[in-house]
Each structure stands twice: as C-alpha cells, then as structure tokens.
Amino acid sequence: MFDHISIQFDPSSLIILNITMALMMFGVSLGLKVSDFTAILKAPKAPLTGLVTQFLVLPAATFGLVVLTKPDPGLALGMMLVSACPGGAFSNVMTFLARGNVATSVSMTAVSSTAALVLTPLNFLFYANAYPPAAAVVDTIALNVGQVFILITLVLGVPLALGMWTGHKFPALIEKTEKPMRYIALFIFLAFVAVAFSANFSLFVQHYAAFVGFVVAHNAIALGLGYGISRATRQSAADVRAVTLEVGIQNSGLGLVILFTFMPDQGGAVLIAAFWGVWHLVSGISLSTFWSRRAPLPAKDTRSTKCEVGL
C-alpha cells in the first residue's frame, strides 16, 4: 500500500536534519557529567528498570503488536525503528514538569543515548528480519549494523562527547548558552518537521487513517509499559513518572535520520516516524501537565531540583 508513496524530501535537507539532531544532542549533553552515568551504580533500580523496558521490553512488545495487527510492511518498519531508538531529548524537562525524579531521567538519557549506538541497529534489524514482510524490504536495502552504527555515532555519540567536554571545560559559558541552544535546536527541529508536513500535506491527509491509530496505540503501549513495569517493581512515585516518560518519549528524530539516509523510499515508515515526533510531544506534555498538579507519593519535592538536561 505504501511502497508507491514518494515523500517529497530534498536530499540536501538530510544535511540539515543531521546537523539539527547533532545540535540537539550537543545541547542536551552540555549539562551531563560522568556522575550521571555512575549514578546508576549507586541507585540502579529505577534507571535499570527503565533501560530494560526501553531496549528489551518495548521492542519485543512492538514486534508482538506488529504480528498481531499485521500492518503494511512499511508501517511495521517504522514502528520497529521507533521502538529501537533511545529516549527522546525532551523527556527530562517533561519529568521536571511532572514533578518526577529528574536524576533518574537524566541518568537514563545519558546511558540510553550511549547504548543506542549498538542496541538501536541491533534491535531494529533483529525484529525487522523476524517479521517476513519487513525482512523482504530490508533485504532489498542491504542495510547492515555497521552502517547504522556509524550514522548514530555521528549524530548522537560524537555530539554527546563534545557536549560533555564543552560543559566541563567552560562551565561559566555554558550557564549562559545552554538553555538558548536547547531552544534553538528544538525550534529548528520543529520547523523542519513543520516544513516536511506541509510539503507532504496531501499524503498525510490521504493516508492518515492508516497510520495515526498505530502511532497513538504504540505510544500508549510505550507509556503503559514504563508505568506498569516501574509500578510492578515497586519504584517510588517520582521514579515511576521519570521511567514512564523516558520510555514513552522516543527519539523519533533519530529514526527519521536513519530512514532518510538508508530507506528514503519507505514512505510508510517515514509517516510513522514523523507523526511519532509530533504525537509523543502531545501525549508527553499532557501527561506531565496532569502529574504536575499532583504531588507524588510518598512526598518527594522535585520542584526545587535543577533540571540540568532537557530541551
């Protein structure tokens, strides 16, 4: 159904998208410290619960959803790719607004962005090849782990390292530029998505009924898994909020980078990843707003916690 769809996308725009993703990761990383990684060793329960849910449970659940509903292969590829991506760059601020445990969110973001270098391509290719209709598409692309690893290293790994180094070397400067840089990168990314939507508006209108339901259901599953598993493992209420938002807010921008680099002809997958980028902001902000009006129990005041990583 979607193999004939041609997304209007200027190849030169891929450079802009890659730079935007790198800037967003750089901005997020300015406030990161080595201690954010080692924090998991000191208090591992909540971050590890979130990371296991993020990289093991969510991709497996997505595969189950695909097998159960049998969507178009392009849509299936998009869902599997999004589920294989790390947490989104906005989860930390949403956790702060939700009065959740910002430290848990920060440590999960730091480790998941690093783990994504290996786990994102492995998860995506494993589950795509396990679903025959999607495997047939992947075979025609000849996609391999090494290619995706190099791309993710360039748009996530290198900016993360540079951001941490810059924040460590120039702390006074970072205090003045960190927040504006995050907002500038966010604005550029949202503008890019808006332009892409407008250029392909007729396609979205024509096919929205085929993919919107999948994105909404998939995002609800991600949020539900984060919430349910963190509750089942008896996390504090503040940690439950952090884990829920970290698992439910996916870095769909990374998914778009991978798609436009290796699979630009997979219109269904692009539609899934693009709409995810919009919908998870809607669902995440809505949930954060709901939680912001309710103090977590047992009482734990995270409102005074400085949100050092976020937009």
| pLDDT tens-digit series, residues 5-45 | 555 555 566 677 777 778 877 877 777 777 777 777 777 88
Q: Rounded mean pLDDT of the chain?
A: 81
Task: Give yes or no for residue 157 having a pLDDT over 60.
Answer: yes
List, for residues 133-153, the tens digit of each pLDDT value. Answer: 998 888 877 777 788 888 888
Residue type, 119: L
Residues 225 and 247: beta-carbon distance below 8 Å: yes
List, for residues 251-284, the tens digit of each pLDDT value. Answer: 888 888 888 888 878 888 888 888 888 888 889 8
pLDDT of residue 124: 93
Residues 270 and 7: beta-carbon distance below 8 Å: yes
Query: Is the model more confident about 299 or about 79?
Result: 79
Instruction: Identify the CA nearest to 149 among candidates 111, 108, 120.
Output: 120
pLDDT of residue 192: 66
Structure confidence at residue 201 as a pLDDT band (50, 70, 90): low
Q: Distances in Å between the alpha carbon of 52 and those of 47, 70, 273?
A: 9, 26, 22
pTM recorded for the entire structure: 0.81
pLDDT of residue 149: 87
Residues 25 and 163: beta-carbon distance below 8 Å: yes
List, for residues 56-107, the tens digit of each pLDDT value. Answer: 999 999 999 999 999 999 899 999 999 999 987 778 778 888 888 877 887 8
Structure confidence at residue 164 as a pLDDT band (50, 70, 90): confident
pLDDT of residue 113: 84
Tokens for 69, please give them: 């509903």
Q: Which CATH class, in words, describes the domain spanning 28-292?
A: mainly alpha
pLDDT of residue 226: 95
Question: What is the number of alpha carbons within 13 Å of residue 169 lying toward its C-beta?
Answer: 6
List, for residues 233-253, the tens digit of each pLDDT value. Answer: 999 999 999 999 999 988 888
pLDDT of residue 311: 41
pLDDT of residue 228: 96
Task: Give yes or no for residue 301 having a pLDDT over 50.
Answer: no
pLDDT of residue 182: 62
Stretch 286-293: mean pLDDT: 91
CB atoms within 10 A of CB 273: 27
Instruction: Identify the CA nearest to 274 among candidates 292, 260, 289, 294.
Output: 260
The Cα 175–Cα 164 span in angstroms is 13
Task: Give yes or no for residue 302 having a pLDDT over 50.
Answer: no
